Each structure stands twice: as C-alpha cells, then as structure tokens.
Amino acid sequence: MRERLQVLVLNQISANGLARLPAESYLVGKDVAAPAAVLLRSADMHGMVLPPSVRAIARAGAGTNNIPVKQMSERGVPVFNAPGANANAVKELVITGMLLAARNIAPALRFVDALVPNGDMEQAVEEGKKAFAGFELSGQTLGIIGLGKIGCLVADAAIKLGMNVLGHDPEITVDAAWSLPSQVKKAGSVNEVLRNAHFVTLHVPLVEATRNLVNDGNIGLMRDAAVLLNFSREGVVSDAAVREALDAGRLSRYVCDFPSPVTHGHDKVIALPHLGASTREAEENCALMVVDQLRDFLEHGNVANAVNFPAVSMARESAYRVAIANSNVPNMLGQISTAMARAGLNIHNMVNKSRGEMAYTLVDVDSPVGDAALGEIRAIGGVLSVRYLPLQG
C-alpha cells in the first residue's frame, strides 16, 4: 500500500475543503515531518525553510505575495491559488465601500455614538444629521482598473445600481471579456479612468508593474470630490500620495482594506481590517477550489491556476505517468524522449506547455518507469523536478 502523502497546513482551512483529501491517502496537519505540499491562507512563508519533499504550495485565496514564488519556481514547485473563489465577497465589500463614502456612514456612526442619551437626543439628531448629507450612486461613474472575475462582478453590480462604468485592463482574458457587461465603456489607460470617474476601484495583483499604480504623479488627475477604493493589495496605492491628496481636498474619501500608519486616523479614510475574503462562503469556496487543484496535481500531475506554471491537463490513457518541470529552453522534449527511448519506454501520450521561463510536460508511457530512467531525466540540464505518478491498483 502506498505511503500517505503528507500535507502541511499553516492556517485554519475550511473543514469541507480538507475533507477533499481522503484520510487513506493523505496525512494532513500542522506538524507533519516530510510534507509533499503546503496548504495555507495568509501565513508568511518568506524565510521558511522548506524540505526537498515539498512538491506544491496551495493558497486558499487569490494573492500569493506571502509565498516565495520565485524560489519555488527555481525548484520546479508550482504555487496554486484560487482566483475568483472569493470574488462575490469582495464585490459586496466594494459596493459597501462606495455606499459608506457616498452616504458619510462612518462619521454619521461616530456622531451617533457620541450622543448623550437624554431627552434632547431627538433634537440633537435632527440638528446634526445635516452635516452627513450624501449623494446617491445612481448616475455616478465608476472606474474599474482590473477586469478579472472581481472587476467584472463589480461592474455588473454597479450597472444594476444605475451607475455608468468605465473599465481598463490591458491584459484582460478572453473569459473575462465574455463575462464583462456590454455597457462597460473601455478606457485606454489608467489615467483615463482617473480623469473621468467619480469612484475608482482597483482590482489588480501586486506585481512590479502595479506597485504604486496610483501615485503622486497621477492622483491629481482625479475629479474633485472623487472617491478611491482599494480592495486589491496594499502596495497598489501610494499611501503618501493619498494622504497628500486628502489633505489638499483633491480627494474626497479613500476606502481600503489595508490600514496603514500613513493614513491611520485621517477623518477621510475608511480602512477595514482586510475583510475582502472574510466570509464563510468565500473561505469555503477558496478551500474547495485549491484543494481540488492540489490533489489533481499530486495524483495526476495536472496543473490549473498555478501562478508560476502553465496550465496543463491530460486525461489518463495509461497507468504510468511522468511529470517534468524544466526551464523553457530548446531541445528539452528531445532529450526527455531520448532518455525514455533508451529505457525502452514507449510514449503513449504527451503534452507540453510553457509559460515564460517555465515549461511543464506530462508523459504517459505503456510500461512501468524504472529509477534509472527517472534518474537520467533528472540529470538533464534545465530539468527542475521529475515526478513518477503510477496509478494505484
């Protein structure tokens, strides 16, 4: 009987998600000795020493900034995430954020909390409420930067609230484009969105190209009394630029999910404690999605939603499968095929895909693969990892 695969869990993960890893095949826990995979949410893995046994990392969420992705790529280890699984939760919070800003909810709540509970309370309410008069979302223009699953859902919800929507995403996927409401007007640049929207919401990953995407060089383009919302990642917006724009009266409100020392306590900042995906439904959706992806990889080598690997899936046509991660350089397939031929292995089916510097190959062969053949493939220059995945009878 095959030894159970060990999965190290670094955070609280939905029990329904963990149940997708059957006990007869997996040993799941916080103290496993030789993990084949790591399952986490927000735990910071930078600085962690991961044993050579680790073959995959899976985050039950979208962002992977807490994972050393580059280091894992160099080891041939995919990093999985769950894009879109928390999209509805984030969408609802973005709409909440717009309403909080438009109707001055936060200062109104503080005003009510400060009321003295006596006979003059009703009069104080009537006199004080004038200071919190707001405006309606209907007819306002919402600018969306980043039109993935969350951005598309936000656009749809805003349109149903009567808003005009302006969207920008130079790397929009075909799937996202199909799901985007036809009423969304296309913007050619971030600056075009900033110039023309009453509300601007960001839904992009934090990478080098998006760091400080809204900054002191372009925040001044925003309309008078505009509202900026950031439920994406903290580093996408320059906190210093936001503070300066708020102090100067150019920006009406900043609504974000990332409290910062730079903007903390400012009366025009509404900061939430990273609640974007903090719903029962989102946490379960993320866990179910990422655990299924992780199991499919560990058992069959298939890759879906890895941030550093190409998407590769091949139906089983043989009981004997080899999964190979390698640098995306010429003649890798030739060398792999030659090594298998020397071992007397007949290739039944093969798929190879690449993504940037990473390539990934699944090979089904007609007979068992011996250690010598696997060793020869591992010795090929540029090969990062090799896994033998025979079906268990």
- What is the CATH number for 385? 3.30.70.260
Show the domain range for 264: 87-271
Say if 250 falls within a structural domain. Answer: yes
Integer Cα distance of 71 and 74 in angstroms: 5
Residue 285, both tokens: 């959706």
Q: How many other C-beta atoms are found inside a 10 Å radius of the C-beta of residue 250?
A: 16
Integer Cα distance of 16 and 288 in angstroms: 7
- Final residue of a domain: which of 242, 271, 300? 271
- Final residue of a domain: which of 217, 249, 271? 271
Integer Cα distance of 179 and 320 in angstroms: 39
- CA dihedral of 213, 219, 225, 228, whole degrees rounded to 10: 10
Contact 138, 159 (CB under 8 A): no
Both 325 and 355 in a single domain?
yes
What letter does residue 388 receive in the DSSP assignment? E
Integer Cα distance of 185 and 166 in angstroms: 5
- Angle at the Cα of 269 from the Cα atoms of 265 and 272, rounded to 5 degrees: 90
Both 94 and 196 in a single domain?
yes
Say if 175 falls within a structural domain. Answer: yes
Say if 276 falls within a structural domain. Answer: no
Both 259 and 136 in a single domain?
yes
Both 44 and 188 in a single domain?
no
What is the DSSP code string of 340-385? Answer: HHHTTPPEEEEEEEEETTEEEEEEEESS---HHHHHHHHTSTTEEE
Both 78 and 101 in a single domain?
no
Both 117 and 231 in a single domain?
yes
Both 304 and 315 in a single domain?
no
Both 30 and 111 in a single domain?
no
Say if 277 falls within a structural domain. Answer: no
Tens-digit pLDDT string for the chain (393 aa): 578 999 999 999 999 999 999 999 999 999 999 999 999 998 999 999 999 999 999 999 888 989 999 999 999 999 999 988 999 999 999 999 999 999 999 999 999 999 999 889 999 999 999 999 999 999 999 999 999 999 999 999 999 999 999 999 988 887 788 888 999 999 999 999 999 999 999 999 888 999 999 999 999 999 999 999 999 999 999 999 999 999 999 999 999 999 999 999 999 999 999 999 889 999 999 999 999 999 999 999 999 999 999 999 999 999 999 999 999 999 999 999 999 999 999 999 999 999 999 999 999 999 999 999 999 999 999 999 999 999 975
Domains in the chain: how many in total?
A: 3
Sequence length of the chain is 393
The sheet with strand 185-186 has its strands ordered as 185-186, 164-168, 141-145, 199-202, 226-230, 251-256, 269-271
Say if 234 falls within a structural domain. Answer: yes
What does each C-alpha distance from 385 to 55, 75, 354, 381 come to in angstroms? 9, 7, 15, 11
Res 1: pLDDT: 53
What does each C-alpha distance from 230 to 66, 85, 225, 260, 330 come to in angstroms? 19, 19, 17, 12, 42
Both 180 and 249 in a single domain?
yes
Both 249 and 130 in a single domain?
yes
Task: List % helix, strand, coil for the chain (3-state, nearest 5).
Answer: 30, 20, 45
- CA dihedral of 238, 242, 248, 249, whole degrees rounded to 10: 150
Say if 318 falls within a structural domain. Answer: yes
| H or E element that contains 271 | strand 269-271
Both 292 and 370 in a single domain?
no
3-state secondary structure of 153: helix
φ, ψ for residue 384, nearest 5 deg = -100, -35
Q: What is the sign of the dihedral through the CA atoms of 327, 58, 25 and 353?
A: negative
Q: Tell me, what CATH number does 41's domain have? A: 3.40.50.720
| H or E element that contains 28 | strand 26-29
Say if 99 falls within a structural domain. Answer: yes
Both 362 and 257 in a single domain?
no
